[in-house]
Amino acid sequence: MKKTLLTALIATPFLLFAQNPVKELPVKNAYSVKSSKESIKFINDEMPEGHVSGSSDFAIKTKKDKNFSSVVLGNTFYDLQTNSSPGRRIVLHSDGTISAVWTASPDAGTGYPNRGSGYNYFDGTNWLTGRDNKIETSGRTGWPSIMLLDDGRERIMAHESGTGGFVSSTNASKGSASFTSTGPVLDDETVVNVDRVPIWNRSVATNGKVHTISNYWANEDAGIDVVTRNGVSSPTSYSRWDVAGDTADVAHILLPGYDSSLYTAGGGDGYAIDARDNTVAILIGGLGDPVSLWKSTDNGENWTYTDVDNYAFKGPRGPATLLLSGDTVNTNDGSLDVMIDANGDVHAFWGLGRVLGAVSTTDATDTVINFFPAQSSLMHWKEGDAEPKISGVPFDQNGDGAYDVNTETFQNLDADNNVPNGLLSAARTGATSLVTMPSASTDADGNLFVVYSAPVEGAVHFLNANFRDIFVSYSIDGGTTWNGPQNITQDGRVESNFPCAAKMADDFLHVIWQEDATPGTHLQNHSASAGSHPNDVCTMNYAAVPVTDIINDVLGTDVITSVGDVTRDAEVFVVSQNQPNPFNGSSEVIIYLRDASPLTLTVTDILGNVLNTGELGVMNRGNHTVTIDGASLSAGMYFYTISGKQNSVTKRMQVK
């Protein structure tokens, strides 16, 4: 007997600033936040009668011996697979073969000049090997979508991040690792002397057409002006490509009704697309924006609009009217997925966000939106529903009725790209919530599945952020009720993020994700001064999860590293690069300690001769600044070593 889980999350508000760039591609109206240092708790009795079914006694399902194993598809140093929505990165073909793509870089070169589309293929027995390099022969690409054309060829659409548009790569037949690339196409050079840079595509093929949605990148410092259409800056646009004629039917049009009455600005990756036969569905959202559905039943010729989540505070007046309402309201966090079932009905999924209106701290005549990044519910809406319902939550690992997550898990770097004062790290992906990045699937029996990313209670990195795992919820009644959560990856010692499920499942749910050693990403969460997220190689993983295991609730939710298993020996975990460097006089080093430990500083020359050594005393857990006195050192290269009880870290410095 199952009963409904009642879920909610308490958090302090976090101020949302528009016009602040994301790390890799500066874009107008990307999000940045400032946060407090308080912890959060997930309480089991605060939401209205809920929608997620779970075990009747809320007992922890113990870790089971998995009836599946994961496979490494390839390696990548580029560790940001999406800003928010997962996209279409894996396809289950009708004969049981599988294709998967991701953004890959075989090295950590500055700017990742060799970045492109990683590709792998399962022929029913084996995956391809040695798949660390991109399939494109030139250019710097990324954000690939994979699709099967009607003639049996595969096409990968990836954006050209420098000048915009999409590199279209096609092989001779599915499974061939040899692709011919053309493009960029749909680069939107329709306006003379105006640079438009459409990137972040989501593409799907059906009945001779490739349907693409994308957003515009802007960088005024680089001469790339903001594109404004229908009153929306950096809008999300739709394109349709005719495969036989190898030309665009329409290029970068705005969908009917997409204007400033709905949105003030678009956002990279805040959208999703699906197609089945002649039906195409496009879902667009954004933190503090509505969830909007456009549906076509004639392969993209005509569209109908549906307001999915009934969000009342739309367009440029949204923050002001929200402020006047005096209340907090639910919205989406910009991570969405859309799926068309066998009946032609559309299912929408998104990470829950919560916002309130506020007066700007820099302009008392202006209003802004505050938001709560520590939300922990995944939402689902089916065509015909009056209201969305909860379809996924994280898990109360220790069974105490609270979901405990450290602040570092949902914090980001400050405006100077440093770890906020008093924290050990910052690990949030973009402006997403705790439970985020839904990716949906369905099987021939009409069962629905949604995988998503969520932090694991008690699975804490040395720098105090919780590791993420990939969870799954399911519905056997078309989405009326949802059962979960269950943990697919079940590790707790690595970061599992950016999940993507094949839209069709057979006896298995087919899932890919990225695995990393550190919570967060190097691209968004690394502080150069603190060394908080090194640029290490990541793996792209795949698993075929038995559907019967999911529906019979046998995956479990426990992880290897639970609250009682964490070993916390004193150790120096991170020693930053000294700043300034080169220097003369003195330079400073930031140290992060997992627990209190006596420390020693040693300076040597390039031959290993010890020039100076000194005891720093016992330092408590947390951040500390150590000053290196180089006044007596002549110009040249030296090494400094910070040693504790368990280990030591050595870095190079230069005196000028």
pLDDT recorded at residue 450? 98
Tens of pLDDT along 311-353?
999 999 999 999 999 888 999 999 999 999 999 999 999 999 9
Whether the per-residue pLDDT at 595 is higher than 90: the answer is no
Q: What is the pLDDT of residue 27?
A: 24
Q: What angle do CA 164, 166, 169 make, to 5 degrees?
A: 150
Give residue 64's pLDDT.
Answer: 52
Measured between alpha carbons, how far apart are the two ends of the chain, in Å? 72
Q: How confident is the model at residue 183 (pLDDT cuts 50, 70, 90)?
A: confident
Q: What is the mean pLDDT of residues 243-253?
A: 96
SS3 22: coil
Q: What is the mean predicted confidence (pLDDT) over 291-318?
A: 96
- Cα 94 from chain centroid (whole Å): 29
The pLDDT tens digits for 250-296 are 999 999 999 999 999 999 999 999 999 999 999 999 999 999 999 99
Is pLDDT larger for residue 622 or for residue 358?
Answer: 358
- Smallest Cα–Cα separation from 498: which of 77, 73, 81? 81
Band (pLDDT 50/70/90 cuts) for residue 225 is confident
| Structure confidence by residue, pLDDT tens digits, 6-51 | 222 223 323 222 222 222 122 222 222 222 223 333 332 233 233 3
Helix (H), strand (E) at residue 324? helix 318-325
**Dihedral-angle region of residue 57 (phi above 0 means left; psi in -120 to 50 means alpha; beta otherwise):** alpha
pLDDT at 578: 82
Of 142-156, 173-187, 625-639, the range with the lowest mean pLDDT is 625-639
What is the C-alpha separation between 389 and 367, in angstroms, rounded? 30
Residue type, 551: I
d(CA 373, CA 430): 10
Average pLDDT of the residues in 130-139: 93
- In this prediction, residue 421 carries a pLDDT of 84
* CA atoms of 153 and 323, how far apart (whole Å): 52
pLDDT, residue 506, reads: 96
Count other Cβ atoms within 10 Å, centred on residue 504: 18
Q: Which residue type sits at 52?
A: V
For residue 570, give both structure tokens: 């004193």
Q: Which residues contact 532 (CB under 8 A, 6 or more apart)?
A: 419, 424, 425, 426, 463, 525, 526, 574, 592
Cα–Cα dist 607/620, whole Å: 33
Q: Rounded to an integer, what distance in angstroms lies between the CA atom of residue 159 and that of residue 421?
A: 37
Task: Report how far residue 364's alpha carbon sits from residue 493's, in angstroms, rounded to the nearest whole number.
Answer: 46
Q: Say if residue 208's pLDDT is above 80.
A: yes
Q: Is the pLDDT assigned to residue 159 strictly greater than 70?
A: yes
Please name the residues in contact with 627: beta carbons below 8 A apart, sequence gap of 6 or more. 586, 587, 588, 589
Instruction: Say if residue 113's pLDDT is above 90.
Output: yes
* Mean predicted lDDT score pLDDT of the chain: 84
Whether 59 shows a pLDDT value over 90: the answer reads no
Residue in the block written with tokens 């079914």: 53
- Contact present, 139 and 155 (Cβ < 8 Å): no
**pLDDT of res. 621:** 67
Give the domains, in start order, of the chain with CATH numbers: 9-565 (2.120.10.10), 572-655 (2.60.40.1930)
Q: 558: buried, middle or exposed (CB in 10 Å: 19+, 13-18, 0-12)?
A: middle
Share of the chain above pLDDT 90, in %: 59
Q: Give 573's pLDDT tier (boundaries 50, 70, 90).
A: low
| pLDDT score of 67 | 64
Q: What is the mean pLDDT of residues 41-69?
A: 40
Residue owning tokens 């099987």 = 443
Q: Which positions ≥6 away from 123 have C-beta within 8 Å?
A: 97, 175
Q: What is the pLDDT of residue 594?
A: 64
- Whole-angstrom Cα distance, residue 597 to residue 447? 53
Using DSSP, how many helices (H) and how many strands (E) does the chain show? 3, 43
**pLDDT of 508-545, one tens digit each?**
999 999 999 899 999 999 988 777 888 889 999 999 99
Residue 559: per-residue pLDDT = 62
Q: Residue 409: how many CB atoms within 10 A of its CB?
A: 26
Residue 135 vs residues 91, 157, 183, 204: alpha-carbon distances, Å:
17, 11, 14, 19
Q: How many CA atoms lie within 13 A of 51 on its CB side?
A: 18
| Contact assessment for residue 426 and residue 463, using Cβ atoms and an 8 Å cutoff | no
pLDDT at 476: 96
Top pLDDT among 276 and 2 is at: 276
Q: Are 590 and 576 in contact (CB under 8 A)?
A: yes
Are 201 and 156 a contacting pair, CB within 8 Å? no
Collapse the DSSP code of 138 into the 3-class scheme (helix H, G, I; strand E, B; otherwise coil) and give the result. Answer: coil
Gap between the Cα atoms of 285 and 262, Å rounded? 10
pLDDT in tens, 188-207: 876 555 678 999 999 999 99
Say what the pLDDT of residue 381 is. 98
Rg of the chain, C-alpha, whole Å: 25
CA distance 90 to 154: 12
Structural contact between residues 15 and 370, judged by C-beta atoms closer than 8 angstroms:
yes
Taking 70 as the threshold, does the pLDDT of residue 562 lie above it? no
pLDDT score at 436: 97
pLDDT at residue 484, rounded to an integer: 86
Query: Sorting pLDDT into bands at 50, 70 and 90, what band is 131?
Result: very high
Query: Which pair of tokens denotes residue 626?
Result: 């150590």
**Could you tell me which residue, 596 or 167, shows the higher pLDDT?**
167
Band of the pLDDT at 396, cuts 50, 70, 90?
Answer: confident
Cα–Cα distance for residue pair 223/465, rounded to 1 Å: 38
The answer to whether 172 touches 183, Cβ cutoff 8 Å, is no
pLDDT at 232 over 50: yes
CA angle, corner 492, sides to 517 and 591, nearest 5? 50
Please give the pLDDT value at position 163. 84
Of 251-260, 355-364, 591-600, the one with minimum mean pLDDT is 591-600
The string of pLDDT tens digits covering residues 460-510 is: 988 889 999 999 999 999 999 999 899 999 888 899 999 999 999 999 999
